[in-house]
Chain A
Amino acid sequence: MNVDERGRAAADEVRRAFTGTDRFGAAVEIERLHDERHLRARRQRWRAGLVAAAIAIAAIVLLASALRARSPVVPAHQVPTGTILYGRWNARIQQARWFTANVDGTNVRDLGITATCARWLPGGNEILITNDAAVTPDHMLRPAIVQADGSDKQPLEGTKDRGFNLGCGDVSADGRFIVLEGFSQRGSDNGIYVVRSSDGGGLRAVAESPPGQYIGDPIFSPDGTQIAFFRSKPGVSPQGAGAIFTVNTDGSDLRRITPWGGAFMDQGWSPDGQWIVYQRPYGVLTLVHPDGSEAHDIQLALPPGSGAENPNWSPDGGWIVFSLAQDGEANIYMIRPDGTSLTQITTQSGVDEQRPVWTLAQG
């Protein structure tokens, strides 16, 4: 059999499988499309009305906000300093717009960056991003570094494989290396990779994953000797859950430190190297030592239907910053590792804010 005969036979089978299916039938979908279009039109009318109302009350709001004292959950003298980098997720384009804010929620700045992931470099003067804006069918995803204000993007193009993507990642404490999730349509080379931070070259694999499984969200340990990452596995319950792994940066000593199904994507390594904070599905913040011992949930009373995700540490290890999601919206919060002093950082309503990262540098 030649390649065209095989291709046509495979095409016939797919065409039969996707012809006249009932479950996702055209009638149901066309109704959905009409509903969605009407909804959007209604939203546009609402927005127009809201803009008019907003202009009318803007002066009152500005005056009120100038006079209103902020009411922190914890005393002001306990609130630490620094700058939080976080994303506002846009479900339509499946990327986030990135912002910074002071830890007390003031000085919110739109960095003008749209990317899947972003993370402070050590020192907080620069940010590692996924360079989604440069992706085309002929140009794979690569990392880039921007200044703390979002300017001066420097693409890291040192890895030349045209079929291979390098996604979300983290920079080592000494600033020399970047650990990234690597993936391709081939699927056979999905894994965790390390490259040089100077140019994105020197690609080497530290952990691999069977095709079809999600592997990602790698972070360095504070001393740079280990990497923690998340991996999913088919059949694991609940859906989308997986486990946290650690591996030495040379690829040796791979260990699973949570049960399968016991973790969800995104985790943070404490500055003293003693704890990893992660999300137990769905929405429960959990601490575990890097050797997998002493796992315990952070006792945190959250509103029904809400969930905590994307946890990360403050530079002094005294706080955990995270995204608190409810009804499709989310803001950035922080708590003490013992579950006390829950404090809201960002307050914008109607947004889905995620993946906060904290630096001591002031914005």
Chain B
Amino acid sequence: MLPRATPLGARSRLVREPELIHINPASEPFDAFFARERDAVLGLAFALTGDRGVAEDIVQDAFLEAFRKWDRIAGYDRPGAWVRRVVANMSVSSFRRRRGELRMLTQLSAREERVVPDLSPSTLAFWQAVRSLPKRQAQVAALFYLEDRRIADIALILEMAEGTVKKHLHDARKALMRTLDLDEVTDERR
């Protein structure tokens, strides 16, 4: 579900949220928005899929959708949140993409080799553990760690109540601690 567009007069609400985008999106060209957001969104898609090729496809689709609807999306408070929500939801539905990719191969289309980023075993293990979480927990954990998002931001991106985000983050931390044999966090206030 798309976020509601907010009249410019209501934009003062943003001032209290320093983590969020301050640029007036209505006046920002799509190209600038894309250049600013692309790498971060690609990292989010990779964290949630574990496959750079799939992540690139998802990001391409999400930005194309934003581009097609830019007249409308540019008027939202946070176009970046819209793209992240689309990417987060598409990233946890990679089953259909996998099947679609296999189907493309049989139609004799040549495909270039996928590139796997050079990441340490420790980092790969961490994101593998995140992907093994239930979907909502995985989305919350990816946004929390990768983008250093606050609870309020994550709630806005995923269209959840802040209390729900806190619960998912708490459960995700517990599960990650067990899986990776890590220490407990003493301060979970963020």
Q: Show the binding face of A for B, using Cβ within 8 Å.
A: 1-4, 6-11, 13-15, 17-21, 23-24, 26, 29-30, 32-33, 36-37, 40, 89, 91, 93-95, 116, 132, 135, 137-138, 141, 162-163, 165, 167, 183-188, 214, 216, 232, 238-240, 264-265, 279, 281-283, 305, 307, 309, 325-326, 328, 330, 354
Alpha-carbon distance between A183 and B98 when the two chains are bound, in angstroms = 12
Alpha-carbon distance between A222 and B99 when the two chains are bound, in angstroms = 26
Cβ–Cβ contact B176 & A137, under 8 A: no
Cβ–Cβ contact B107 & A328, under 8 A: yes
Cβ–Cβ contact A17 & B118, under 8 A: yes
When A3-B177, A7-B141 are in contact, do A15 and B43 touch as well, CB less than 8 Å? Answer: yes
Alpha-carbon distance between A19 and B186 when the two chains are bound, in angstroms = 31
B9 within 8 A of A: no
B82 within 8 A of A: no
Cβ–Cβ contact A185 & B145, under 8 A: no
Q: Which of A8, A163, A326 contacts B134 (CB 8 A)?
A: A163
Q: Smallest CB–CB gap between A350 and chain B, Å? A: 15
For B47, give the chain A residue with the smallest CB separation. Answer: A14
List 27 A-B pairs, Cβ < 8 Å.
Answer: A2-B184, A3-B176, A3-B183, A4-B173, A13-B120, A13-B123, A17-B117, A17-B118, A18-B39, A21-B39, A26-B39, A29-B38, A30-B34, A33-B64, A36-B64, A89-B100, A116-B96, A185-B131, A185-B132, A187-B128, A187-B132, A214-B98, A238-B105, A239-B111, A265-B99, A282-B105, A307-B106
A-B pairs with beta carbons under 8 A, tally: 178
Q: Could you tell me which residues of chain B, from 96 to 151, have a CB within 8 Å of some CB in chain A?
A: 96-103, 105-109, 111, 115, 117-120, 122-123, 126-128, 131-136, 138-139, 141, 144-148
Q: Show the binding face of B for A, using Cβ within 8 Å.
A: 31, 34-35, 38-40, 42-43, 46-47, 56, 60, 63-64, 67-68, 89, 92-93, 95-103, 105-109, 111, 115, 117-120, 122-123, 126-128, 131-136, 138-139, 141, 144-148, 173, 176-177, 180, 182-186
Q: Which of A32, A36, A138, A305 contacts B108 (CB 8 A)?
A: A305
Cβ–Cβ contact B98 & A138, under 8 A: no
When A162-B134, A240-B105 are in contact, do A132 and B56 touch as well, CB less than 8 Å? Answer: no
Q: Could you say which residues of chain A place their CB within 8 Å of the CB of B185?
A: 2-4
Alpha-carbon distance between A6 and B103 when the two chains are bound, in angstroms = 38
Alpha-carbon distance between A327 and B106 when the two chains are bound, in angstroms = 11
Shortest beta-carbon contacts, A-B, top 9: A7-B145, A94-B96, A10-B126, A17-B117, A240-B105, A2-B183, A186-B132, A18-B43, A137-B135
